[in-house]
Amino acid sequence: MSDIETKGEKIIAQLMKDIEPGTPRFEILEVARRFKTSWVELGGKLYEVRRRKLYEQWGYGKFDEYCSREIRIKPRTATKLTTSYAFLKNEEPSVLRRDGVVRPVPDVQVVDMLRRAREKEALPEKEYSKIKEMAFNDAPVAEVRSQMKQHQPAPSPTKGQVIKNLLSQARKLSDGLAAVPGIPHQLVERALALVDGIRKLVKENGS
């Protein structure tokens, strides 16, 4: 356990002394202390806090402020928890009913990867279903990530990359024309001018 985690737990423990046991606020703090072994429980609690804006009743103007100051987790972590919980709630609600012992709950990193792949439609439906089944049957995070990378389409080249490729092709064209006897000089000059023009585009795009 790191010093940051220890400090956070101490602050939470101190807060719990001043809050009535059994209340929603107390329960969320209690769940936060068990965060690493119960992300689904905390995700569900925070999902309701955000949905019902309960943090306003507890003196916080924003959900992120409540999470960072009281629950002692970063806003981006809270977002990952709530969105991953919502994803399971809509996509595979049976996973939320697992006891975490007989049937382990998928790692939050795995669920988050699946959620983002689903939202971006980054995987064909058939492959997505296979990977989802694997993820929900206790596959390690690294294995799920590897499978997703294998089936995701290659990212589209950037404008700069396209221009660089065109420059390379233009150079080959000009060199090829210059090497062939009998090619009109004017045609070679046009090819060289094309190279110069594309080279300027490369510089303009900061490549």
Selected residue with higher pLDDT from 93 and 98: 93
CA–CA gap between residue 124 and residue 148 (Å, rounded): 11
pLDDT reading at 101 higher than 90:
no
pLDDT digits (tens, 9 = 90+) for 8-38: 667 877 888 889 988 999 888 877 766 644 7
Q: Is the pLDDT of residue 7 over 70?
A: no
Check residue 99 and give its pLDDT.
Answer: 62
How many C-alpha atoms does 155 have within 13 Å on its Cβ side?
A: 5
Whether the CB-CB separation of 95 and 136 falls below 8 Å is answered with yes
Cα separation of 15 and 32, whole Å? 12
142 or 87, which is more confident? Answer: 87
- Percent of the chain scored above 70 by pLDDT? 87
Kindly state the tokens that stand for 54: 């309960």
Average pLDDT, the chain: 84
Q: Which residue has 């689903």 as its token pair? A: 118
Q: Which residue has the higher pLDDT, 67 or 127?
A: 67
In whole angstroms, give the CA distance from residue 194 to residue 135. 51
Tokens 């589209």: give the residue: 156
Residue 3 has pLDDT above 50, yes or no: no
Answer yes or no: is pLDDT of 48 > 90: yes
Classify each residue of 14-29 as buried b or exposed e, where b means 16 or more C-beta atoms within 10 Å of its C-beta: ebbeebeeeeebeebb
Mean pLDDT for 129-155 is 79
> In angstroms, rounded to a whole number, what is the distance separating the alpha carbons of residues 24 and 147?
40
Residue 14: what pLDDT?
Answer: 83
- Residue 4's pLDDT band (cuts 50, 70, 90): very low
Element (H, E) at 148: helix 141-151
pLDDT at res. 1: 39
The alpha-carbon radius of gyration of the chain (Å, integer) is: 27
Asked if 45 contacts 52 with a C-beta cutoff of 8 angstroms, the reply is: no
